[in-house]
């Protein structure tokens, strides 16, 4: 069955960077976009961006432009996201999720989430 | 950016009740609308995509409808496992955006 497995929890200081990984299995890695969504404590879902594993093309939410970089490694079916210049308000659970390349599909498989705590 | 507004923000209901949650987009999203269920400490789960298509394995008591800017998620007979927070999401344009969520609580 399709699965996304994310890297473990991180604690970072303000100004530092964090890199997440999201390893796909059970499906054709290059046939689905991978999106990143975060959720601050007690808050809703916030879309951060996406990557097309087939060609590496990315699209980022404006509020993260310049701070986020998404990459993929097709040899290991892994997508990575790096977030730099961390702020206290970046404390959140970060999820990766896949979406079919068909129009109007949903995010049908999610990773388990990675908790990032930004603390001095 | 397309803004997604859900209503209500929360509701109290009993097992067996019919529940309806509404999502309004700030501009038409052409049925590129999905609904998710999230329980505490868990990742969201896809319920409905393309406004009205039920994801495989989701109980038939869930249904979605709507077009243009207005969409609805209905639960025909609320079950104990349905108490959760529900989110709509538009994927018509980038950035994809979520509603603020509707928390369904036990009355």
CA dihedral B19, B32, B25, A42 (to 10 degrees): 60
Peptide bond into B12 cis (omega under 30): no
Task: Please state whether A28 falls in left (phi above 0), alpha (psi between -120 and 50) or beta.
Answer: beta
> What are the residues whose beta carbons fall under 8 Å from the beta carbon of B39, sequence distance 6 or more?
B84, B85
- Confidence class of residue B1 from pLDDT cuts 50, 70 and 90? very high
Is pLDDT at B63 greater than 90 in this prediction?
A: yes
- Residue B35 has phi, psi (to 5 degrees) of -120, 140
In this structure, the strands spanning A114-118 and A10-12 are parallel
Kindly determine whether residue B50 and residue A110, on different chains, have CB atoms separated by under 8 Å: no
Residue B98 with chain A: CB contacts under 8 Å:
37, 44-47
- Average confidence (pLDDT) over B53-68: 97
| Distance, CA of A85 to CA of A41 (rounded, Å) | 20
Q: Is B48 on the interface with A (CB under 8 A)?
A: yes
Q: Is B34 on the interface with A (CB under 8 A)?
A: yes
Residue A102's pLDDT is: 84
- Confidence class of residue A77 from pLDDT cuts 50, 70 and 90? very high
- Average confidence (pLDDT) over B32-53: 98
Average pLDDT over chain A reads 97
Report the side by side order of strands in the sheet with B19-25.
B4-7, B19-25, B70-75, B62-67
Contact, A115 vs A7, CB < 8 A?
Answer: no
- Tens of pLDDT along A63-72? 999 999 999 9
Considering only CB atoms, A44 lies closest to which of B45, B51, B98, namely B98
Output A55 or A102, whichever has higher pLDDT: A55
- Tens of pLDDT along A84-113? 999 999 999 999 999 998 878 999 999 999
CA dihedral A65, A109, B103, A94 (to 10 degrees): -40
Residue B46's pLDDT is: 98
Considering only CB atoms, A106 lies closest to which of B46, B99, B100, namely B46
Kindly determine whether residue B100 and residue A106, on different chains, have CB atoms separated by under 8 Å: no
Considering only CB atoms, B50 lies closest to which of A99, A104, A107, namely A104
């Amino acid at each position: 069955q399709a699965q996304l497995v994310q890297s473990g929890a991180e604690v970072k200081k303000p100004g530092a960077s964090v890199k997440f990984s999201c390893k796909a299995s059970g499906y054709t890695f290059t046939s689905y976009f991978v999106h990143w969504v975060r959720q601050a404590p007690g808050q809703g879902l916030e879309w951060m961006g996406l990557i097309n594993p087939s060609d590496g093309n990315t699209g980022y939410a404006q509020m993260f432009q310049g701070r986020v970089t998404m990459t993929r490694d097709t040899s290991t079916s892994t997508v990575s996201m790096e977030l730099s210049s961390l702020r206290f308000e970046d404390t959140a659970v970060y999820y990766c999720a896949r979406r079919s390349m068909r129009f109007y599909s949903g995010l049908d498989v999610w990773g388990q989430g990675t908790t990032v705590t930004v603390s001095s | 950016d397309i803004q997604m507004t859900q209503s209500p923000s929360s509701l109290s209901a009993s097992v067996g009740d019919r529940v309806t949650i509404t999502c309004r987009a700030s501009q038409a999203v052409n049925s590129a609308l999905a609904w998710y269920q999230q329980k505490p400490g868990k990742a969201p789960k896809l319920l409905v995509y393309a406004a009205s298509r039920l994801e495989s394995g989701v109980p038939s008591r869930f249904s979605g409808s709507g077009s243009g800017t207005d969409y609805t998620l209905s639960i025909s007979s609320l079950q104990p496992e349905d108490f959760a927070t529900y989110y709509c999401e538009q994927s018509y344009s980038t950035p994809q955006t979520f509603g603020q969520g509707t928390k369904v609580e036990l009355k």
